[in-house]
Amino acid sequence: MAHYQRIGNVPDKRHTQHRTPEGGLYYEELMGEEGFSSDSSLLYHRRLPSSITNARSWDLGDSQATTPNQPLLPRHLKLHDLFLDETWRGVDAVTGRRLVLGNGDLRISYVVADAPSPFYRNGVGDECVFVESGAARVETVFGAFDVASGDYLVMPRATTHRWIPAGEEPLRAYCIEASSHIAPPKGYLSKFGQLLEHAPYCERDLRLPRGPLLAEDSGVGVDDPAEVYIKHRGRGPNGIAGTVYTYPHHPLDVVGWDGCLYPYAFNVSDFEPITGRVHQPPPVHQVFEGYNFVICNFVPRKVDYHPLSIPVPYYHSNVDSDEVMFYVEGDYAARKGSGISKGSVSLHPGGHAHGPQPGSYERSIGVEYFDELAVMVDTFRPLELGEAGRAVDDGTYAWSWAGGKDEPPVDGAG
Ligand SMILES: [Fe+2]
């Protein structure tokens, strides 16, 4: 985010002596994007941020591996069939993520968790985690968030943090891990970075971390050693590898920070939908973007009010994109009869024209309101299937517009 924030104990002048009450020095860390040429923040640590006492590989196995969508098919992936029979017990929201779809630009994973995660940072890119249901406290070096259903949490690359599920039900999270930064769409921003009047949300809708958050606030001491799990660029599948560092001190040792780079939360219910007399194209639903992808959300809204309008989408061939929709709440009119329901993901790949299921086109005429909530990711490079995506592919969605498929079965299509 381009707007400046300042939290906690920060010296008046940057890069000057910042003294502890005992007369020692705090250690200044610049966390900045694009070298020293883009947004950054200055963090003031009680201990050396670079001191590590051990390192070992974090074996990610095949968790980041993907297989091509071949033969090319639209697919329905039933995420709620993952973590069945309470297999989420003891699972955490970092190491328990299961990869649904991915490519070199981003990975989409899903997790159901009830256990605290280890400290973690993603050195590959920014993360945007959408909380489908449940709640969690997320502790970061910038401060803490309480997140719940409908929250996006945008976490800048290399931010040390951990997820602590809260409440009775498990946390269900849809995790978008980029290989780049994630930010509001450029078209929403002034030349100096303010969200413009036509944007569907503004700075007031963004929640900042509450801080500073220190080790003592978590019931431990600043000199208690801790491990931090790091996902980073390497030679593993999709160019990702893992390492675990041991620090001689606790990661929550930042007494203050200021700058324009920090995590923030945004609840999808604060997204003000843009509607029109005829069907509005997906860019009006955009909420964030990264390199080679966009994130959109479809929220409950009044729909098209031209007297001859057809509220569901026209058939469309996004010739440059793969389109992934995660159906979160409500009743998704365009997909009736396809088997898609809450917890479903549809993948509509580039090269295949898609649109409403049979009958939906006609049925939508005269409808005034769509009670639906969905998160969409459109990628410019093709998406491949992760382990979890393959495990919950319904195998029949591709034929749902035609009412069935011809035999013999197509290889790999179920
Ligand atoms: Fe579409």
SS3 assignment for 92-104: ECCCCCEEEEECC
Residue position matching structure tokens 């050195």? 123
Give pLDDT, residue 409: 58
Mean pLDDT of 20-48: 97
User: For the purposes of burial, counting CB atoms within 10 Å of the CB of 328, is it exposed (0-12), middle (13-18) or buried (19 or more)?
Assistant: buried
HSE-CB at 263 with a 13 A cutoff on CA atoms is 33
227 — pLDDT class (breaks 50, 70, 90): very high
- pTM of the entire structure? 0.96
- For ligand 1, the distance from its centroid to the CA atom of residue 122, given in whole angstroms, is 30
Give pLDDT, residue 337: 79
Could you tell me what percent of the chain has a pLDDT over 70? 98
Q: Are 82 and 391 in contact (CB under 8 A)?
A: yes
| 322-371 tens-digit pLDDT | 999 999 999 887 787 788 999 999 999 999 999 998 898 899 999 999 99
Is it the case that residue 319 has pLDDT exceeding 90?
A: no
- For ligand 1, the distance from its centroid to the CA atom of residue 316, given in whole angstroms, is 6
How far lies 313's CA from each of 58, 280, 298, 331, 349, in Å?
A: 44, 8, 12, 15, 16
Give pLDDT, residue 338: 84
Give pLDDT, residue 61: 93
411 — pLDDT class (breaks 50, 70, 90): low
- For ligand 1, the distance from its centroid to the CA atom of residue 304, given in whole angstroms, is 17
Taking all residues of the chain, what is their mean pLDDT, rounded to a whole number?
95
Ligand 1 ion: Cβ-proximal residues, 5 Å cutoff:
323
Mean pLDDT of 314-325: 92
Give pLDDT, residue 218: 86
- For ligand 1, the distance from its centroid to the CA atom of residue 324, given in whole angstroms, is 8
- For ligand 1, the distance from its centroid to the CA atom of residue 379, given in whole angstroms, is 12
* 49-58, 291-300, 354-363: least confidently modelled range: 354-363
d(Cα 288, Cα 205) in Å, to the nearest integer?
14
- For ligand 1, the distance from its centroid to the CA atom of residue 344, given in whole angstroms, is 15
* Both structure tokens of 63: 């968790």
- For ligand 1, the distance from its centroid to the CA atom of residue 354, given in whole angstroms, is 6
Is it the case that residue 2 has pLDDT exceeding 80?
A: no
410 — pLDDT class (breaks 50, 70, 90): low
- For ligand 1, the distance from its centroid to the CA atom of residue 412, given in whole angstroms, is 23
Give pLDDT, residue 408: 62
| 219: CB partners within 8 A, 6+ apart | none
407 — pLDDT class (breaks 50, 70, 90): confident
Task: Find how far residue 186's CA is from the centre of its chain.
Answer: 18
Measuring CA to CA, which residue among 176, 162, 137 is closest to residue 288? 176
| 249-287 tens-digit pLDDT | 999 999 999 999 999 999 999 999 999 999 999 899 999
d(Cα 262, Cα 338) in Å, to the nearest integer?
41
Mean pLDDT of 214-230: 95
Give pLDDT, residue 412: 57
| 379-391 tens-digit pLDDT | 999 999 999 999 9
HSE-CB at 58 with a 13 A cutoff on CA atoms is 25
- For ligand 1, the distance from its centroid to the CA atom of residue 180, given in whole angstroms, is 24
Q: Which residues of 378-388 are buried (b: 16+ CB within 10 A; e: fewer)?
A: bbeeebbbbbb
- For ligand 1, the distance from its centroid to the CA atom of residue 2, given in whole angstroms, is 31
